[in-house]
A and B are shown apart, each in its own frame.
Chain A
Amino acid sequence: MEAIGQQLIIGLTNGMVFALIALGYSLVYGILELINFAHGDLFMLAAFIALAVLGALGGTAPGSGLAAALWIGLLIVVASVFGGTVNVAVDRLVYRPLRNAPKLAPLVSAIGVSFIFQNIGLFLGGLPLDVFAGGTSAAAPKAFPELLSNENLLGEDSAFRITPRHAVVFASSLAVLILLYILVRHTRLGKAMRAVAQNPLAARLMGIDADRVIAATFFIGGALAGFAAVIYALYVNTVDWRMGYQNGLYAFTAAVLGGIGNVGGAVVGGIVLGLVRAASDHWIGAQWQPAVIFGMLILILVFRPSGLLGTGGREKV
């Protein structure tokens, strides 16, 4: 019973991170029907930037609660702005010239961008900063300073373990997801995004600047990746140039699971994936984790080809 509870906490926390990354895939897919394979690696780059900023400004020792909170706030702002800006730049330089090309062209370009990002990550890891262990081993995983305490909020003797890390990851992710929902559902920009997603041509005819809306979508997706990177680094405490690959793959799976192009679907997909992952590790065995997750994906797609919340129609975003 305790185990179920504990795995539930782990699954939900991981699921939130997957959901944040999945949203980046889903938003862009919803508008352009492009699977932005570089998204996972953008997430990785943002984590490197956060660590570099933290190291360069000397914030490696967590201070009191307030100091740590200020650091985390700063990192979230830096990483989100970085993620958003880079994502917009990539769209402008790589995807936009290919807007009218066959669908495969931007897809392959996205894979290319993903490799470029990985190499930039490797380069950053080799910078002679203390937080990168002096840059002696660019490819080695880097420790992210433990800004959040690992003490059990329920007391060290309690069978359950809820630490400030769990609480911060869960609460801040939830807040961001709610904000995003409000943005997409109840603002002019959100309305324009939905319009472009439904019918780009008609949206243009109605006077919507589709390119600006697309740029805004890329910014929001990238900023979410930046936010997720900081949250992830605070929770897992590791930054590694390869972390974009697997997190990206799982998040993409979560997006498909929930119904790609659907905001609620990405969140549901992320949480389901996090929970299944935890349950599989606990009751089936860690070596079966990828098999269980992708097996579940196949099963769901066989019975619901458009994903858990997908409607199969044009209603996206």
Chain B
Amino acid sequence: MRPPVPSSLVLLAVAAATLLGACGGCGEDQAAQGDPRTVKIVSSLPRTGSANAQTTTMVNGIRMAIEERGAKVGDFNVVYEDWDDASARKGDWDPEVEAANADRAAKNPDILFYIGTYNSGAAKISMPILNRAGLAMISPANTYPGLTKPGLGEPNEPGVYRPSGKVNYFRVVPADDIQGRVGAVWAKKMGMKSAYVLDDRGLYGKGIADVFAVTAEEIGLKVHGHEGVDPKAQEYRSVLTKIKELDPDLVYYGGTTQTNAAQIAKDMVAVGLRAKLMLPDGCFEQALIQAAGPQNLNDRTFVTFGGAPPEKLVGKGAEFVQRYREKYGAQPEAYAVYGYVAAAACLDALARAGKKDREAVRQALAATKQTDGALGAWEFDANGDTTLATMSGNTVRNGQFEFVGLLSGTE
């Protein structure tokens, strides 16, 4: 038998863990706490790892919104803290860190707004914690429909994220299901008459493909069939040969580069399918072109992307991009403007509520109605979703993605 670990060692470890855990960040919170005129906004975004480029630009957007108002709303001084929900161990967002961030924010009465998260999976963790605390949460980047929309995710969604029954979660980006809708409308506008829908059977891919299929039927785009494929299959020639017999104008694949979208593009060419291919934003990355080979995508591939690229923003949005470039000396990434708009919505809500009270600012945030913001005119619907449905359409030309135009979900 192996000797047990000496109990003194265990005690020491426990003591050390308690000390570390208790003081990890509590000092700073307490220092500022209690001043009735200080309001805190925190963001919880993956600052370590591969998402860093996107989150840095979002944080820049948040800082710009606050600085433009001199960090003051009425009598309140606004303090912003940039929290990381990633860990070096995972190199990506970490459920434990996100849960710890949410707990820490819930317990600090100075914090009135929680901007985050970047990953929909992370939002699933912090949403119920913040909901119980009645703390308003606003995401500049989550696109998974189930977070807010009944019937589009798991059966218990989104109720499971709202234990208190109130809606405290808002997002300024259009959710994925809009992409399916926009894609179908776009296909019809391009003169296509029929489509065949495939998906990777994942939460993201199937969700979008379902909406595409439903919308297509609605607007008179014939759907020959809809089926899920194995995202790890080596090739798809048999199923594409079957589709070839039906001769649709378009194949829609609800999936990502990681779930073999590139292989589908290749095999479409290999079996001699004349249909075009349309893909959602999970494929909007250079890796798709590298994996498929440009010759298999050029002039026959369409990719939708949530929101407009920075260089295509107009009005206040274009002004934002201009100011961003002057301040940071670089073109903002796609999500920067969403960080900016999310923070601006928080500040407006605080101004309208006029008091340091979580419930009052939550209600004010829910009543947000922008007429001429950086993203144009929009408001939050009853689920906390933006009414914005502008997307951009892209195609592949000469081995590069090329912007085609702004798309909307209406004919």
Listed in ascending order, the chain A residues whose CB lies under 8 Å from chain B are 2-3, 6-7, 10-11, 14, 133, 136-137, 139-143, 145-146, 150, 152, 156, 161, 163, 165, 232, 235-238, 242-243, 245-247, 277-282, 285-287, 289-290
Contact = CB atoms under 8 A, between A and B. Distances in A.
Given A143-B292, A156-B272, A242 B232 contact: yes
Contact of A10 (B237, B262, B269, B290): B237
A238 B291 contact: yes
Contacts of A141: 257, 260, 262-263, 291
Contact of A281 (B238, B258, B262, B266): B238
A152 B271 CA distance: 9
Nearest to A285: B227
A245 B233 CA distance: 10
A180 B160 CA distance: 60
A145 B286 CA distance: 17
Contacts of B235: 14, 235-236, 238
19 contacts: A3-B241, A7-B238, A10-B238, A10-B241, A137-B290, A143-B293, A161-B272, A236-B263, A236-B266, A238-B263, A277-B238, A278-B238, A281-B236, A282-B239, A286-B227, A286-B228, A286-B236, A289-B230, A290-B230
A282 B291 contact: no
A281 B267 CA distance: 14
B227 to A, nearest CB: 5
B28 interface: no
Nearest to B266: A237
A156 B236 CA distance: 21
A122 to B, nearest CB: 14
Contacts of B271: 161
Q: Which 4 A-B pairs give the minimum distances between C-beta atoms?
A: A281-B238, A133-B290, A287-B228, A278-B238
Interface string B232-255: 111111110110010000000000
Contacts of A165: 270
Contacts of B258: 139-140
Interface string B288-304: 00111101000000000
Nearest to A279: B238
A135 to B, nearest CB: 11
Interface of B: 198, 201, 227-230, 232-239, 241-242, 245, 257-258, 260, 262-263, 266, 269-272, 286-287, 290-293, 295
Nearest to A152: B272
A147 to B, nearest CB: 12
B25 to A, nearest CB: 33
B291 A140 contact: yes
A14 B229 CA distance: 17
Nearest to B242: A282
B262 A6 contact: no
Contact of A6 (B239, B241, B257): B241
B170 to A, nearest CB: 33
Contacts of B272: 152, 156, 161
B229 A287 contact: yes
A150 B267 CA distance: 11
Contacts of A236: 234-235, 263, 266
A246 B269 contact: no
A238 B266 contact: yes
Contacts of B234: 232, 236, 238, 243, 246-247
Contacts of B260: 141
Contact of B229 (A140, A235, A286): A286
B241 A282 contact: yes
A158 to B, nearest CB: 10
A146 B287 CA distance: 18
Nearest to A131: B290
A3 B233 CA distance: 21
A41 to B, nearest CB: 14
Nearest to A236: B235
A226 to B, nearest CB: 17
A236 B258 CA distance: 17
A245 B232 contact: yes
A142 B241 CA distance: 24
Nearest to B50: A137
Given A141-B262, A141-B291, A287-B228, 19 more contacts: A141-B263, A142-B290, A142-B291, A143-B293, A145-B293, A146-B295, A237-B270, A238-B234, A246-B232, A246-B233, A246-B234, A279-B238, A282-B241, A286-B229, A286-B239, A287-B227, A289-B230, A289-B233, A290-B230
Contacts of A277: 238
Nearest to B288: A140
A106 B261 CA distance: 37
Given A152-B272, A245-B232, A290-B230, A282 B238 contact: yes
A7 B236 CA distance: 12
A286 B263 CA distance: 15
Nearest to A247: B234
Nearest to A281: B238
A294 to B, nearest CB: 12
Nearest to B290: A133
Nearest to B237: A10
A281 B242 CA distance: 8
A237 B233 contact: no
B262 A238 contact: yes
A142 B263 CA distance: 10
Nearest to A277: B238
Contacts of B242: 3, 281-282
Contacts of A7: 238, 241
Nearest to B199: A287
B45 to A, nearest CB: 22
Given A245-B232, A246-B232, A285-B227, A133 B239 contact: no
A293 B242 CA distance: 19
A279 B242 CA distance: 10
B232 A150 contact: no
Contacts of B233: 246, 289
Residue among B227, B238, B262 facing the most chain A CB atoms (10 A cut-off): B238
A182 B225 CA distance: 48
Contacts of A289: 230, 233
A150 B269 contact: yes
Residue among A3, A139, A156, A236 facing the most chain B CB atoms (10 A cut-off): A236
